[in-house]
């Protein structure tokens, strides 16, 4: 929950630690539950206090970077893709989602579905390390790193494309 609220804390180490400490299944359930509660809390608080709350945590340049989502007819699709792609600022998106026309239910469905693949790979990696299965842990970590690098590249391309279309 705290990891979502304090958005500059990356989620992957939390997921890895949950897998290591609790195993794959329990670690995944605990982490997803925390993501959902944190995302709900942030969304509701932003709806209540508006952009002033977002500005407390993020510079205006970061807020402007996501402004294309606010009035886009593709908000749900783009938000889903950004949450699904590894390496994107998912917790910042929780703050920004409260400024869009998404409902809290829509947002929580996006979070639950889109965060699950990354959460699974990370908790498997952590659980494998906890069981001293370093080969599986290394393979999963390597795959995650490659997917994250590709995700960051795609995210930057998508943001650039959306900014150009909104001009």
Instruction: State pLDDT tens for residues 26-75.
Output: 999 999 999 999 999 999 999 999 989 988 888 887 777 777 666 667 78
**Residue 124 pLDDT exceeds 70:** yes
CA–CA dist 134, 143 (Å, integer): 14
47-50: Cβ within 8 A, 24+ apart = 47/98, 47/104, 50/99
Is 133:108 a contact under the CB 8 Å cutoff? no
For the chain, percent of residues with pLDDT exceeding 90? 43
pLDDT band at 144 (very low <50, low <70, confident <90, very high): confident
Look up the pTM and report it.
0.83
Q: Mention every residue, 6+ apart, whose C-beta is less than 8 A from residue 32.
A: 112, 115, 116, 119
Q: Which string of DSSP letters, residue by residue, matches 18-84? A: HHHHH-HHHHHHHHHHHHHHHHHHHHHHHHHHTHHHHHHHS-HHHHHHTHHHHT-TTHHHHHHHHHH
């Amino acid at each position: 929950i705290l990891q979502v609220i304090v958005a500059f804390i990356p989620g992957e180490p939390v997921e890895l630690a949950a897998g290591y400490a609790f195993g794959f299944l329990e670690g995944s359930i605990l982490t997803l539950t925390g993501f959902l509660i944190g995302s709900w809390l942030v969304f509701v608080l932003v709806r209540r206090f508006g952009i002033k709350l977002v500005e407390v945590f993020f510079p205006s340049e970061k807020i402007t970077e996501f402004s294309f989502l606010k009035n886009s007819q593709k908000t749900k699709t783009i938000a889903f893709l950004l949450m699904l792609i590894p390496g994107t600022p998912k917790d910042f998106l929780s703050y920004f989602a409260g400024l869009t026309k998404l409902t809290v239910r829509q947002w929580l469905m996006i979070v639950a579905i889109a965060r699950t693949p990354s959460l699974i790979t990370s908790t498997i990696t952590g659980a494998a390390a906890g069981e001293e299965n370093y080969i599986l842990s290394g393979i999963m970590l390597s795959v995650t790193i490659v997917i994250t690098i590709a995700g960051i590249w795609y995210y930057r391309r998508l943001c650039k494309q959306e900014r150009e279309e909104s001009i």
